[in-house]
């Protein structure tokens, strides 16, 4: 006992930090205000919430607000996911509403994705005060705007367009890369979902029986994607998953994510920054179009961290390194998008029984880096499973 849990963990982690910085590249100066701020989450403009109360926003009031916006002459404000209501009778939203704790944490009205209509003075002013991945502090308006303007397809607004989905309930599997999947024989069950999310070093070749083959979404930061290609190459991760149907989810953890996204949509080499000259088609295949790519909204990142994964690490000297893991971000994205969610390959109580990843040949212990709080994530998955909001694969 004695030291709080995070401190014991962080001390253990320090030797790993140098490697972590290489592997995850998240070492950057803290820069005032770049950490998760204590401000209440403003999901609606303050004036509006005073006028209307944040829970009964009408579409009319949103449009009215849009008309006042200087940068965006259009009448419409960005339309969030909840404007495509679900017809699913067994949707996780009903489980969420019925739960006293999660009913207060989930807010399905927050936009999950960011697209061109978000480029308003209001958004710029808010996000320039928060560091990445929760905002745009220190980033150039011109650079951000040149990326956002390209996200002008209706496919950039929704992860899944309910209007063209044939069924009632959207069933999603999110596949983490945990060793628990080795020998699990879950492949068929995973592939039977309508949509399958994968991330980072998601090797499927040779592991089909355990993890399936289908990939609908691949989530990453440019940093985690490139590091996965290096670190897991020896296990067969020689290429980012590609197919005609597959969509990529960019996590905006750094300017290089915006820069790569722009190049990917334009189908041209990256123009500046640390990836300058890199060819996006190497990672995402030949199709360069706005339809192919999605960008998580920095507000959504902020909301997820503040409400679901507000780790004690944030208040330590390593706070600037912290953000939820890529797997956590994908799982929470699915929970705000799909009607039913199953998680495979995520951390469980008995993680010590399994290797770090399902594709390792010899058992390697799960490595705890200071930039994530895997035990906090484990607790979250466990309680979401317990109350029936999602299904967590355990063995
Ligand atoms: C999106 O923007 C591009 C480049 O400005 C333009 O060519 C394209 O027609 C636009 N697409 C839509 C759906 O507005
Ligand atoms: C799982 O791990 C625990 C403690 O690390 C150990 O006691 C147990 O035997 C393990 N079980 C299996 C099936 O390996
Ligand atoms: C994966 O499972 C096989 C069969 O159970 C086992 O022999 C192997 O050691 C496991 N690999 C790791 C990395 O745990």
pLDDT of residue 36: 59
Q: Which residues of 14-24 are buried (b: 16+ CB within 10 A; e: fewer)?
A: eeebeebbebb
pLDDT of 127 strictly over 50: yes
pLDDT of residue 61: 30
Residues 6 or more apart in contact with residue 366 via CB below 8 angstroms? 178, 179, 347, 351, 352, 354, 355, 356, 374
Atom in ligand 1 nearest the alpha carbon of residue 153:
13
Ligand 3 atom 9 nearest Cα: 362
pLDDT of residue 304: 98
Domain residue extents for the chain: 92-392
Q: What is the mean pLDDT of residues 213-242?
A: 97
Q: Is the CB of 87 under 6 A from ligand 2?
A: no
Q: Is the CB of 395 under 6 A from ligand 2?
A: no
**Using one digit for the tens of pLDDT, what is the confidence trace for 49-86?**
322 222 222 333 323 333 333 333 343 455 555 568 88
pLDDT of residue 79: 55
In the reported structure, the alpha carbon of residue 360 is separated from the centroid of ligand 3 by a whole-number distance in angstroms of 8
pLDDT of 347 strictly over 90: yes
Ligand 1 atom 9 nearest Cα: 152
Q: Which ligand is nearest to the CA of 184?
A: 3
pLDDT of residue 2: 38
16 vs 145, which has greater pLDDT?
Answer: 145
pLDDT of residue 369: 87
Residues whose beta carbon lies within 6 Å of some atom of ligand 3: 179, 182-183, 355, 360, 362-363
Lowest mean pLDDT among 71-85, 326-340, 342-356: 71-85
pLDDT of 242 strictly over 70: yes
Ligand 2 atom 13 nearest Cα: 353
In the reported structure, the alpha carbon of residue 357 is separated from the centroid of ligand 2 by a whole-number distance in angstroms of 17
Ligand 3 atom 5 nearest Cα: 183
**Of 331, 265, 339, 275, which Cα lies nearest the Cα of 295?**
265
pLDDT of 258 strictly over 70: yes
Task: List strands edge to edge, sheet with 171-175.
Answer: 293-295, 247-250, 217-220, 195-199, 171-175, 340-344, 391-392
Q: What is the mean pLDDT of residues 290-314?
A: 97
Select, from the ranges 15-24, 69-78, 104-113, the one with the highest average predicted confidence (pLDDT).
104-113
Q: Which ligand is nearest to the CA of 154?
A: 1
pLDDT of 8 strictly over 50: no
Ligand 2 atom 6 nearest Cα: 353
43 vs 371, which has greater pLDDT?
Answer: 371
Q: What is the mean pLDDT of residues 333-348?
A: 98
Residues whose beta carbon lies within 6 Å of some atom of ligand 1: 152-153
pLDDT of residue 85: 82
Both tokens assigned to 148? 């956002």
Q: Is the CB of 90 under 6 A from ligand 2?
A: no
pLDDT of residue 71: 34
- Longest CA span, the chain: 60
CATH 3.90.1480.20 correct for 92-392: yes
| Cis-peptide, bond into residue 346, ω within 30° of zero | no
In the reported structure, the alpha carbon of residue 149 is separated from the centroid of ligand 1 by a whole-number distance in angstroms of 9
pLDDT of residue 101: 97
Select, from the ranges 42-51, 155-164, 258-267, the one with the highest average predicted confidence (pLDDT).
258-267
pLDDT bracket for residue 294 (50, 70, 90):
very high
Residues 6 or more apart in contact with residue 222 via CB below 8 angstroms? 250, 254, 256, 257, 260, 275
pLDDT of residue 126: 96
Pairing of strands 217-220, 391-392: unpaired
In the reported structure, the alpha carbon of residue 151 is separated from the centroid of ligand 1 by a whole-number distance in angstroms of 9
Atom in ligand 2 nearest the alpha carbon of residue 352:
5
Q: Among 184, 353, 395, say which to mutate for ligand 2: greatest number of ligand atoms within 8 Å of CB.
A: 353
Rounded Cα distance between 202 and 229, Å, is 10
pLDDT of 35 strictly over 70: no
In the reported structure, the alpha carbon of residue 366 is separated from the centroid of ligand 3 by a whole-number distance in angstroms of 15
């Amino acid at each position: 006992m004695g030291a709080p849990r995070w401190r014991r963990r962080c001390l253990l982690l320090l030797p790993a930090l140098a490697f972590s910085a290489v592997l995850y590249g998240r070492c950057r100066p803290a820069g005032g205000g770049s950490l998760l701020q204590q401000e209440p989450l403003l999901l609606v403009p303050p004036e509006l919430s005073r006028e209307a109360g944040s829970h009964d926003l009408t579409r009319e009031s949103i449009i009215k607000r849009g008309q006042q916006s200087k940068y965006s002459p259009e009448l419409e404000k960005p339309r969030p996911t909840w404007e495509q209501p679900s017809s699913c009778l067994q949707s996780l939203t009903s489980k969420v509403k019925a739960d006293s704790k999660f009913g207060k944490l989930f807010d399905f009205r927050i936009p999950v994705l960011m697209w061109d209509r978000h480029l308003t003075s209001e958004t710029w002013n808010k996000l320039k005060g928060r560091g990445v991945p929760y905002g745009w502090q220190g980033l150039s308006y011109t650079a951000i705007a040149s990326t956002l303007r390209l996200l002008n397809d209706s496919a950039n607004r929704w992860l899944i367009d309910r209007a063209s989905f044939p069924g009632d309930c959207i069933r999603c599997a999110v596949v983490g890369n945990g060793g628990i999947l080795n020998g699990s024989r879950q492949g068929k069950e995973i592939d039977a979902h309508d949509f399958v999310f994968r991330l980072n070093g998601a090797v499927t070749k040779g592991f089909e029986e355990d993890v399936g083959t289908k990939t609908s979404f691949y989530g990453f930061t440019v940093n985690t994607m490139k590091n996965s290609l290096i670190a897991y190459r020896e296990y067969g991760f020689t290429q980012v998953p590609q197919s005609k149907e597959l969509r990529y989810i960019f996590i905006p953890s750094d300017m290089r994510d915006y820069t790569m996204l722009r190049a990917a949509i334009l189908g041209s080499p990256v123009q500046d920054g640390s990836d300058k000259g890199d060819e996006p088609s190497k990672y995402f295949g030949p199709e360069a179009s706005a339809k192919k790519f999605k960008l998580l909204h920095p507000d959504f990142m902020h909301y997820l961290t503040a409400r679901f994964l507000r780790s004690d690490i944030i208040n330590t000297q390593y706070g600037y390194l912290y953000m939820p893991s890529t797997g956590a971000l994908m799982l929470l994205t699915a929970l705000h998008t799909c009607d039913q969610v199953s998680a495979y390959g995520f951390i469980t109580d008995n993680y010590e029984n399994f290797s770090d990843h399902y594709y390792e040949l010899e058992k390697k212990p799960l490595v705890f880096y200071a930039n994530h709080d895997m035990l906090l994530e484990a607790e979250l998955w466990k309680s979401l499973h317990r109350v029936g909001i999602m299904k967590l694969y355990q063995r």
